Chain A
Amino acid sequence: MARTASPRAAEDPAGLGRAGAAAITAPALLVVAAFLVFPALWTLYLGTTNYRLTGFAARHPHGVGLQNYTNVVQDPGFHHSLWLTLEYVLLSAVVGQAALGFAIAWMLRDATGWLKRLIEALVLLAWILPSSVVAFLWVAMLDRDSGTLNALLHTPGTAWAIEHPMAVIIVFNIWRGTAFSMLLYSAALTSVPPSQLATARMFGANSWQQLRDVVFPHIRGHILTNLLLISLWTFNDFTPYQITAGGPNGKSQILPVYIYQTALFDGQMGLGAAISLLMLLINLIVALVYLRLLRERRREPVAA
């Protein structure tokens, strides 16, 4: 009797059997459990204690129930941080990186040769350098007394990172992250059938109309995937700390910096864990919104 005829084959095309499949996936699941599930559960637990880095509560932490969460939710510092983070994600990732990345990809779609490679190399360079090195360069560039920017703009004595901290980290993140969006959109644009674009041009569609009616519908999935990834990355990004340290006086204290300062600088691990969990939930909501948008696209294939 041929094995393919067996009714089980439909459920088990690999032919591993239940035990074999479990054995093969077990290592991966263990890694996921150890590095994702355990820390997440641990954060959940820590968030309900008064655990601290030093002092008596470091040795004998005790449960405080939901106290940390109620404290955080009522803390104006948290509201302020959350607002700054949303501003940071929206302006630097969704508007900045995605738009600029697309613009570069669109302009370079027909370019070839050294120009394309040069621009790509420059953009990529921003992406591949270690963030601490890059942050150091930016600090030097923005320096009040001997910074390159002040020399270029003839604005001696302007302390950019202190007078405009949010603008600085937003521009920084756009500069740093555009490469990813550019690469992703470059790849996506190759999937747009040239014939459709040619047809649209023949009917007199201008650039914007071509984009709206031909290009965007084709790469909608790529756009959403890109936005999902860069939003989450930016939301969790700690690099701005290396430029402004959350300052001055909390004016660029986005959530990751707020958590760092609460948990490690002030030593309030329990409270820091509570904020981390809230952040995890916000991440989850953002992810769900994007995934929902993606699924809607798949349900209406006719439109494409």
Chain B
Amino acid sequence: MGAHSARSGNLRTLIAVGAAVAALVAGCSSSSSGSKPAAVNSADQPKNPTLVITANDIAGGKNSNEANWIQKTLIPDFVKAEAAKGITAHVTFRPNGVDDNAYKSKLALDLQSGTGDDVFSLDGIWVGEFADAGYVKPLNQVAGAQVDSWDGWSQITQAVQALGEYQGKRFGVPNGTDARVIFFNKKLFAQAGLPADWQPTSWQDLYDAAAKLKTLPGVTPVQWDGGVPMGEATTMQGFLPLLSGAGGSLWANGKWMKAGTAFTSALGFYQKIYGGGYGDPVLQEDAKGRDKSFTEFAANKIGIYAESDYMWRSVLNPTGGTAPMADRDTDVGYALIPSQTPSSGVKGQGFVSYSGGSDWSINPKTKYPQAAWDFLAFLNSKTETESRISGAPLLTARTDVNQQVLGNDPMLKFATDKVLPITAFRPSQAAYNDVSSLVQKAVADVVGGKSPEQAAAAYEKALEGLVGADSIAAGS
């Protein structure tokens, strides 16, 4: 057994190196330092730890607010706090400002070759894949028992903690969560004779509003993510709320679901929107389609837009958003996403939503697991969480902070009070991201003009090739 595991270890290292070379990924030197991540006593921790932390944030670009906060507030605060304990910490931030999928590939390649940064942010839906690959380990294995005794856990609800969990173990500290709603432009609504407190209760209500918006010149009535370039946004903001609203889900009772009537209905929504001239199919096919849609919404050219609260706080935010909208607070309305017909949603719901979020996790190969955990605990402390969202509120992982802060932002209060109680989370399965790719292809096929039935059949066939017929049950 010892010989076997040593051999497979060598094979793993070899494969990691070989794959890196074959893929021509520059700068991948395998550092098999073999530093065993064991529980570390705070008494014998190194006095001069060096940490590099990374996230898909960059000042002046993606998640600019968070990047600024990390560099200007969090790191100096942390260094000061460590100094008080007699530890001289050196912390640097490595920014990224790329598509989520590109960030994921980079992270995986770095971790695989043993050169990953010490602390990194990780989307909740990647945890399973990364854990299965051995790129992340349970936090208490990396940094010891102190992880479980951290007082912060009591402030994070079970549903949100699940974002960092896989097979019952904690792999990351959740950073926050979000919720899907429908945003709409009140200016355009007024012009089209629609109410400012609009709340659709069925898909038909959406179609009707879209038909009215269509009469306005130069306006795209609906933007509903539905292209491969949109990546996970197509699954998360677009397809899943529709599937859920038609009473279906991708995964239930330990099996993936066949593409049943709910699946086809959700695709039918796309056919109606993009075949009926309510949405702009070219925007969905554009490699930069998501950014462009944001810009168009901010420029009063899109009437209805399904998105996460991310759009409110990080995109349209007049201060620090990527497509700032000066009159956001007065001109942008928000509504719950309706089921296909009232009460046709999962569990008989009339309204549906999906939530996600990311975690901060530790590289198991870090030389300073103790300092890395200190950093994580510090980052998610009440004080730091408050300072993180002082300029741009968001749904943090901590209930104590949310209760205090979110009352100031009506949209986020709406998300907390009305949306989170009815929301759903994506299956935390390692295969989820592959299934999601298949969903994106099916949706793109419909947006591109294929029939929902054809696209659903192709999805089902590809799903069987991916997970095997044994893991699939009849869909609803």
Contacts and interface: CB of A to CB of B under 8 A. Distances in A.
Given A162-B282, A267-B108, A248 B448 contact: yes
Contacts of B12: 59
Given A249-B444, A263-B23, A53 B437 contact: no
B130 interface: yes
Nearest to B301: A145
Contacts of A248: 227-229, 285-286, 444, 448
B40 interface: no
Interface string B93-127: 00000000100110011001000000000000010
Contact residues of B: prevailing secondary structure: helix
Contact of B101 (A56, A162, A249, A265): A265
A279 B321 CA distance: 44
A249 B285 contact: yes
Interface of A: 38-39, 42-43, 45-46, 51-56, 58-61, 139, 144-145, 159, 161-163, 244-245, 247-249, 263-267, 269, 273, 276
15 contacts: A39-B18, A53-B109, A53-B112, A53-B133, A54-B108, A55-B133, A59-B133, A144-B282, A144-B286, A161-B286, A162-B285, A247-B229, A248-B227, A248-B285, A249-B228
Contacts of B23: 263-264, 269
B267 to A, nearest CB: 15
A54 B129 contact: yes
A144 B291 CA distance: 14
A97 B288 CA distance: 29
Given A58-B132, A60-B8, A249-B445, A244 B112 contact: no
Contact of A247 (B128, B228, B434): B228
Given A56-B430, A247-B285, A269 B132 contact: no
A53 B15 CA distance: 11
A265 B105 contact: yes
A244 B105 contact: no
B22 interface: yes
Contact of B22 (A43, A56, A162, A265): A43
Given A53-B109, A265-B105, A159 B282 contact: yes
Contacts of B112: 53, 58
Most buried by A among B109, B286, B437: B286
Interface in B7-23: 8, 12, 15, 18-19, 21-23
Interface SS majority for chain A: helix
B19 A59 contact: no
A119 B188 CA distance: 51
Contacts, number: 103
B129 A55 contact: yes
A59 B21 contact: no
Contacts of B105: 53, 264-265, 267
B407 interface: no
Count chain B CB atoms within 10 A of each CB in A145, A248, A267 and give the residue with the most.
A248
Interface of B: 8, 12, 15, 18-19, 21-23, 101, 104-105, 108-109, 112, 126, 128-130, 132-135, 227-229, 282, 285-288, 292, 430-431, 433-434, 437, 444-445, 448
Contacts of A264: 23, 105
Given A38-B18, A139-B288, 8 more contacts: A39-B21, A46-B22, A53-B133, A54-B104, A54-B129, A54-B133, A144-B286, A269-B23
Contacts of B126: 54
B132 A55 contact: yes
Which of A54, A162, A267, A269 gathers most chain B CB within 10 Å? Answer: A54
A275 to B, nearest CB: 12
B18 to A, nearest CB: 4
Contact of A273 (B22, B134, B431, B434): B22
B228 A276 contact: no
Interface centre among B19, B128, B228, B434 (most CB of A within 10 A): B19
A61 B112 CA distance: 14
Contacts of A55: 128-129, 132-133, 430-431
A-B pairs with the 10 shortest C-beta distances? A248-B285, A58-B133, A54-B129, A245-B287, A42-B18, A56-B132, A55-B129, A59-B134, A55-B132, A55-B430
B59 to A, nearest CB: 21
Given A144-B282, A247-B285, A266 B448 contact: no
B340 to A, nearest CB: 26
Nearest to B16: A58
A38 to B, nearest CB: 7
B286 A42 contact: no
Contacts of A267: 105, 108, 129, 433-434
Contacts of B15: 46, 51, 61
Nearest to B441: A249
A290 B133 CA distance: 44
A55 B286 CA distance: 30
B286 A159 contact: yes
A60 B104 CA distance: 20
Contacts of B227: 247-249
Contact of A46 (B19, B108, B133, B431): B19
Contacts of B129: 54-55, 267
Contacts of A265: 101, 105
A245 B18 CA distance: 26
Contacts of A58: 108, 112, 132-135
A3 to B, nearest CB: 45
Given A51-B15, A54-B132, A61-B15, A276 B22 contact: yes
A162 B109 CA distance: 31
A300 to B, nearest CB: 41
A43 B24 CA distance: 12
For B21, B23, B109, B444, which residue has the most chain A Cβ atoms within 10 angstroms? B23
A51 B287 CA distance: 28
A46 B18 contact: yes
Contacts of B431: 55
Contacts of A54: 104, 108, 126, 129-130, 132-133, 135, 430
A61 B132 CA distance: 12
A164 B3 CA distance: 57
Contacts of B109: 53
A56 B18 contact: no
Contacts of A145: 292
A42 B12 CA distance: 13
Nearest to B285: A248
A242 B296 CA distance: 23
Contacts of B228: 247-249
Contacts of B135: 54, 58
Contacts of B286: 144, 159, 161-162, 247-248
Nearest to B19: A269
B133 A51 contact: no
Contact of B434 (A45, A244, A266): A266
A269 B25 CA distance: 13
